[in-house]
């Protein structure tokens, strides 16, 4: 249990979700409570007593993120309703609680996987492992960030209520710090010739995607196609921990081992069929998601563009309104597309490194677009 | 909200039936399905399984009849003649729906009829009809006898009347009560079939909120590869697990002497789909439709694996025929296959192909003396009790515990013997839902198993399907529950009820003499290696680590070191 505490403590800091060691408390419960802190506060014991859970995180996110959450909390008072697709699917809404008072927090966590406690931070839980609490925390950060920027943009450009001056001041003060991370792509550009080389390239790309913060918590997936096999990340795998978590999936569907493969496997299969490409990378770069939501909600059969990058609708998975029905055709010419409110898919005929370049470039483009729209309308 | 279950009390000895409204407090405390069944079984906890006064219970889930997806199941429960524990089985089909339409939430059947009966409940009337079934009739013929009947039917086959201790109860001819020999209990009451038809509609308190929950749940189903993915159970049925469990090197083979079967591709789902082109059908209100049928019923994963790998049999036609015979005679396929594998080990023989089918037919026809008693009694009678791969005399399903330590612990702590469904750790140890856990460690597993047991006690009480929880969670179903019933229960309220139900089940078993000595695994798993390979090492389970995890589980479950719920906990719950 202590291993999990240490692992997710380190991940929260490494991914920039929290700034300092002191800003986060992690608790794992088996028959006793394990924590990164000395001792267990009364409020935490009380929460474990009230909830049938085994994991709890209380964290104050990094200052920019926390400022955004506080601003949304001021506007929304009791409940924040995310607008992006993944958050709608997995966390539904985010309750706001006034104090870290066990009965009030427990009441919120009885309903949802996480909540925001005023002046304290985000509180999340898990009933299987600390990873759930980590994912919920990361998702709440992502959902609130996207909502704040989308609401401001759409409000300013006539697609929603005009933001208050206070919100705009806040936005302009954090805009620069939200710029996508820069860096040289050090990934190999040699087409992998063996299974080991394929796995190595997926591993390296997954790590750089996380390092550049182009993906939220564990969401996102990556694959490479070679000789009738798709090598694809498993469902719920962290892109920075891919070794041992890549499934080998025969393209012809002759094995059902793919049960544990990414929920977007079928979308990858269809994209390969449409593009003839070899590599696909899917991430959740924040400004790509935000810019995909600029304007009216997109109906299922609609398409629009951010610059020359298509934006299509579609839900997670292969259901009736799944992105599997919209994305592949959109990528046929451009080898990249943004799924409305969800994230970017990029493919390449050569290496995953090239797909990473495309994903990263789209995120920078979306950031620049956002900034110029703000300059124009604010 | 006035939430009170309607119970039909049937006395087969006196041939009387009386319907009554159950106390609101009891109804709200146990919800329906498995919860309310445990409550009624606890009122006479030490009765013998085949005592005429021992109750046989049919209880609909609380969400039955609603529009929530995969929530139309029910529970059949009794004391098991195979294990002597409490036994409750989740059953699909349309019986739960018809019960609710008839204005009944639960039927409690006691007594024993002098002659073989059909209990018919139709449009508010209860009738006791003499059964005209031939003693040797197959269940397909028995169900054909109800052809013009527009309701739902549950029936037992000849195995139950011949004394098979793992005879099951079949619903709508293809959904079975699975495990523990509840069919034998029904036959002991001389009840051949239960036929139910109703007309009323389920009242939903808040249809709008129900629809919102339905949408949330469906979106999560669509996002779950194990449900709606290309290889998900919607497409392939549970047979989709064959390749995966084989690849994880935890497919029980040769009566659990090995954990990898080289020929598993012979009965994998892709091959079945390609060669038999089966269609799908579903329980009432289920969009997953995991049941598959071509010319013949396609067996579920457990059946494929146990008639296949466990018996070292790669003859798919023999597996399908063995499954057909079990369904016709009304026998649990897991116990049937495992008992034959146990006999094979004792005799140092292999029963494959026609020999396997012959053995199954021998049980169905009542010509074999020991096989219908299950592996524990068979192995004991043949002087080799260690060859029975069972816990509390219930045979293990097709997940070798050396390949998933949460599963090992869950087999031991399950209240009905070696059951994979009470905690279903396969979801996180293999299928990575809701998140993946390390399958080769006991760290953290004690509480995970306890929480999952509580969760599934709720799932079985509201009538939901466990596969639904490979996508959705109780968070979504709790909202749906509140919308349908009007009871303002949230997730944790329901989890508290789950804890109560599970503790009650454990207390029933304690009163029946079960304790820590029974919460264990066959010795083989602590001493023999599995089939390592492909970079996966399958070691024997460390006994000390297992025992330590079990004691941790007891502390978390508020039980003493002997496994019994503590006095304090019993008093808190009013047990």
CA dihedral B49, B52, B54, B60 (to 10 degrees): 110
The answer to whether the CB of B8 falls within 8 A of the CB of B22 is: no
Mean pLDDT confidence for B430-444? 94
* DSSP string across A162-213: PPPHHHHHHHHHHTGGGSPPP----S--SPP-SHHHHHHHHHHHHHHHHHTT
Identify the helix (H) or strand (E) that includes residue A374. Answer: helix A352-377
Mean pLDDT confidence for A318-328? 90
- Asked whether residue A260 carries a pLDDT value surpassing 90, the answer given is yes
Mean pLDDT lowest for which of A100-104, A146-150, B278-282? B278-282
Question: What is the reported pTM?
Answer: 0.94
B241 interfacial to chain A (CB closer than 8 Å): yes
In angstroms, what separates the C-alpha of A30 from chain B's closest C-alpha?
5
What's the rounded Cα separation, in Å, for the pair B544 and B546?
5
The answer to whether the CB of A202 falls within 8 A of the CB of A355 is: no
8 Å CB contact of A127 and B448: yes
In angstroms, what separates the C-alpha of A369 from chain B's closest C-alpha?
31
Interface of B with A in 441-500 (CB under 8 A): 443-444, 446-448, 451, 454-455, 475, 478, 490-493, 495-496, 498-499
Q: How confident is the model at residue B464 (pLDDT cuts 50, 70, 90)?
A: very high
Interface of B with A in 187-216 (CB under 8 A): 216
Do the domains at A2-162 and A195-377 have one common CATH topology? yes
What's the rounded Cα separation, in Å, for the pair B483 and B135?
47
CATH topology of domain A195-377: L-fuculose-1-phosphate Aldolase (3.40.225)
- Asked whether residue A218 carries a pLDDT value surpassing 70, the answer given is no
B242 interfacial to chain A (CB closer than 8 Å): yes
Question: What integer pLDDT is reported at residue B164 of this predicted model?
Answer: 98
- Asked whether residue A200 carries a pLDDT value surpassing 70, the answer given is yes
Above 0.85 for ipTM, yes or no?
Answer: yes
Mutation for B interface: A27, A30, A87, most B CBs within 10 A: A30
What's the rounded Cα separation, in Å, for the pair A297 and A340?
9
8 Å CB contact of A92 and B475: yes
DSSP E strand stretches across B329-399:
390-391, 394-395
Domain boundaries, chain A: 2-162, 195-377
List CB contacts (< 8 A) between A124 and chain B: none
B240 interfacial to chain A (CB closer than 8 Å): yes
pLDDT digits (tens, 9 = 90+) for B478-509: 999 999 999 999 999 999 999 999 999 999 99
Mean pLDDT confidence for B146-170? 96
Question: What integer pLDDT is reported at residue A187 of this predicted model?
Answer: 87
The answer to whether the CB of B352 falls within 8 A of the CB of B312 is: yes
Closest chain A residue to B448, measured at CA: A128
What's the rounded Cα separation, in Å, for the pair B12 and B117?
9
Phi, psi of B130 (to 5 degrees): -70, 135
Q: ω into residue A287 within 30 of 0, thus cis?
A: no
Closest chain B residue to A53, measured at CA: B451
A63 interfacial to chain B (CB closer than 8 Å): no
Q: How many CB atoms lie within 10 A of CB A375?
A: 10
What are the residues whose beta carbons fall under 8 Å from the beta carbon of B104, sequence distance 6 or more?
A: B6, B7, B8, B19, B60, B121, B196, B198
* DSSP string across B237-270: -GGGHHHHHHHTT---BTTTTBS--TTGGGG-HH
CB pairs under 8 A between A and B: 163
What are the residues whose beta carbons fall under 8 Å from the beta carbon of B566, sequence distance 6 or more?
A: B558, B559, B560
Helix axes B491-511, B33-42, angle to 10 degrees: 30
- Asked whether residue A21 carries a pLDDT value surpassing 80, the answer given is no
**Which of B239, B244, B437 comes nearest A260 by C-beta?**
B244
Angle (CA) B521-B526-B530 rounded to 5° is 105
Phi, psi of A57 (to 5 degrees): -125, 135
CA dihedral B153, B158, B164, B169 (to 10 degrees): -10
- Asked whether residue B553 carries a pLDDT value surpassing 80, the answer given is yes
Angle (CA) A141-A146-A152 rounded to 5° is 130
* Average pLDDT of chain A, as a whole number: 92
Q: How confident is the model at residue B124 (pLDDT cuts 50, 70, 90)?
A: confident
pLDDT digits (tens, 9 = 90+) for A52-84: 999 999 999 999 999 999 999 999 889 999 888
CATH topology of domain A2-162: L-fuculose-1-phosphate Aldolase (3.40.225)
**Which of A257, A319, A321 comes nearest B247 by C-beta?**
A257
Q: State chain B's maximal CA–CA distance in angstroms.
A: 64
8 Å CB contact of B444 and A315: no
8 Å CB contact of B496 and A52: yes
Question: What integer pLDDT is reported at residue B534 of this predicted model?
Answer: 87
**Which of A89, A128, A255 comes nearest B219 by C-beta?**
A89
B555 interfacial to chain A (CB closer than 8 Å): yes
**Which of B244, B444, B448 comes nearest A259 by C-beta?**
B244
List CB contacts (< 8 A) between B433 and chain A: 235-236
List CB contacts (< 8 A) between B475 and chain A: 92, 111-113
8 Å CB contact of A263 and B496: no
- Asked whether residue A23 carries a pLDDT value surpassing 90, the answer given is no
**Which of B226, B433, B552 comes nearest A30 by C-beta?**
B552
Better-predicted residue by pLDDT, B429 or A188: B429
What's the rounded Cα separation, in Å, for the pair A47 and A51?
6
Q: How confident is the model at residue A217 (pLDDT cuts 50, 70, 90)?
A: low
Question: What integer pLDDT is reported at residue A219 of this predicted model?
Answer: 75
Closest CA to B100 of B210, B2, B204: B204
In angstroms, what separates the C-alpha of A132 from chain B's closest C-alpha?
7
* Average pLDDT of chain B, as a whole number: 96
């Amino acid at each position: 249990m202590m291993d999990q505490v240490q692992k997710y403590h380190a991940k929260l800091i490494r991914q920039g979700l929290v700034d300092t060691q002191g800003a986060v408390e992690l608790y794992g419960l088996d028959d006793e409570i394990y924590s990164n802190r000395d001792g267990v506060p009364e409020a935490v014991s009380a929460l474990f007593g009230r909830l049938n859970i085994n994991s709890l995180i209380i964290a104050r996110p990094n200052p920019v993120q926390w400022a955004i959450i506080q601003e949304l909390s001021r506007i929304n008072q009791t409940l924040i309703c995310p607008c992006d697709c993944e958050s709608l699917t997995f966390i539904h809404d985010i309750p706001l609680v006034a104090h870290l008072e066990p009965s009030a927090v427990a009441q919120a966590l009885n309903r949802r996987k996480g909540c925001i406690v005023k002046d304290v931070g985000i509180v999340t839980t898990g009933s299987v492992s600390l990873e759930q609490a980590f994912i919920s925390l990361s998702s709440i950060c992502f959902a609130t960030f996207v909502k704040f920027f989308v609401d401001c943009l759409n409000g300013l450009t006539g697609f929603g209520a005009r933001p208050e001056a206070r919100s705009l001041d806040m936005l302009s003060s954090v805009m620069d710090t939200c710029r996508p991370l820069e860096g040289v792509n050090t990934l190999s550009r040699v087409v992998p010739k063996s299974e080991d080389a394929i796995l190595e390239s997926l591993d390296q790309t997954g790590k750089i995607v996380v390092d550049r913060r182009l993906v939220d918590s564990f969401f996102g997936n990556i694959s490479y196609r070679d000789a009738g096999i798709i090598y694809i990340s498993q469902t719920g795998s962290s892109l920075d921990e891919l070794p041992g978590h890549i499934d080998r999936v025969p393209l012809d569907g002759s094995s059902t081992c793919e049960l544990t493969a990414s929920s977007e496997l079928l979308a990858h299969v269809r994209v390969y069929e449409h593009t003839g490409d070899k590599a696909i990378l899917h991430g959740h770069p924040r400004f790509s998601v935000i810019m995909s939501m600029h304007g009216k909600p997109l109906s299922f059969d609609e398409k629009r563009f951010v610059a020359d990058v298509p934006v299509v609708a579609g839900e997670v998975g292969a259901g009736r309104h799944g992105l599997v029905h919209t994305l592949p055709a959109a990528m046929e010419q451009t080898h990249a597309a943004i799924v409305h409110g969800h994230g970017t898919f990029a493919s390449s005929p050569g290496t995953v490194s090239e797909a990473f370049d495309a994903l990263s470039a789209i995120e920078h483009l979306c950031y620049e677009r956002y900034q110029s729209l703000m300059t124009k309308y604010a | 909200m006035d939430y009170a279950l309607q119970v039909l009390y049937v006395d087969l000895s006196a041939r009387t039936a009386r319907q009554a409204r159950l106390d609101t407090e009891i109804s709200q405390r146990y919800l329906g399905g498995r919860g309310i069944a445990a409550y009624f079984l606890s009122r006479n906890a030490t009765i013998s399984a085949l005592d005429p006064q021992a109750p046989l219970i049919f209880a609909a889930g609380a969400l039955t009849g609603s529009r929530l997806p995969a929530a139309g199941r029910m529970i059949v429960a009794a004391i098991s003649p195979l294990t002597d524990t409490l036994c409750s089985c989740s059953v699909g089909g349309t019986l739960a729906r018809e019960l609710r339409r008839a204005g009944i939430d639960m039927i409690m059947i006691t007594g024993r009829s002098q002659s073989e009966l059909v209990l018919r409940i139709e449009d508010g009337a209860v009738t006791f009809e003499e059964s005209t079934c031939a003693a040797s009739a197959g269940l397909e013929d028995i169900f054909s006898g109800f052809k013009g009947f527009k309701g739902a039917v549950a029936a037992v086959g000849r195995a139950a009347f011949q004394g098979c201790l793992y005879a099951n109860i079949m619903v709508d001819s293809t959904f079975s009560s699975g495990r523990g020999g509840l069919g034998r209990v029904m036959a002991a009451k001389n009840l051949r079939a239960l036929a139910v038809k109703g007309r009323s509609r389920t009242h939903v308190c808040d249809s709008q909120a129900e629809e919102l929950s339905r949408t949330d749940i469906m979106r999560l189903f669509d996002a779950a590869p194990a449900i709606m993915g290309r290889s998900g159970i919607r497409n392939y049925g549970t047979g989709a697990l064959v390749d995966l469990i084989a690849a994880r090197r935890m497919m029980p083979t040769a009566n659990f002497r090995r954990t990898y079967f080289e020929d598993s591709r012979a009965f994998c789902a892709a091959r079945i789909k390609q060669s038999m082109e089966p269609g799908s059908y579903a329980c009432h209100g289920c969009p997953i439709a995991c049941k598959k049928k071509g010319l013949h019923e396609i067996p579920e994963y457990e059946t494929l694996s146990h008639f296949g790998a466990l018996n070292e049999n790669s003859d798919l036609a023999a597996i399908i025929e063995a499954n057909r015979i079990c369904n016709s005679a009304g026998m649990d396929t897991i116990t049937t296959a495992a008992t034959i594998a146990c006999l094979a080990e004792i005799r140092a023989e292999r029963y494959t192909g026609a020999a396997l089918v012959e053995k199954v037919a021998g049980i169905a026809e009542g010509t074999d003396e020991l096989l219908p008693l299950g592996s524990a009694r068979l192995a004991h009678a043949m002087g080799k009790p260690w060859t029975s791969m069972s816990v509390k005399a219930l045979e293990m399903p097709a997940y070798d515990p050396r390949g998933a330590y949460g599963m090992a612990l869950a087999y031991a702590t399950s209240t009905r013997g070696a059951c994979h469904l009470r905690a279903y750790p396969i979801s996180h140890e293999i299928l990575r839902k809701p998140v993946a856990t390390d399958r080769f460690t006991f760290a953290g597993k004690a509480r995970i198993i306890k929480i999952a047991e509580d969760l599934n006690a709720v799932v079985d009480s509201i009538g939901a399907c466990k596969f639904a929880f490979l996508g959705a969670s109780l968070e979504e179903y709790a909202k749906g529950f509140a919308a349908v019933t009007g009871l303002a229960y949230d997730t944790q309220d329901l989890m508290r009820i789950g804890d109560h139900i599970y503790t009650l089940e454990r207390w029933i078993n304690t009163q029946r003499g079960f304790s820590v000595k029974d919460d264990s695994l066959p010795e083989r798993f602590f001493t023999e290696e599995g089939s390592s390979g492909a970079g996966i090492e399958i070691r024997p389970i460390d006994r000390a680590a297992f025992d330590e995890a079990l004691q941790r589980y007891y502390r978390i479950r508020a039980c003493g070191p002997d496994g019994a719920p503590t006095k304090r906990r019993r008093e808190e719950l009013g047990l």
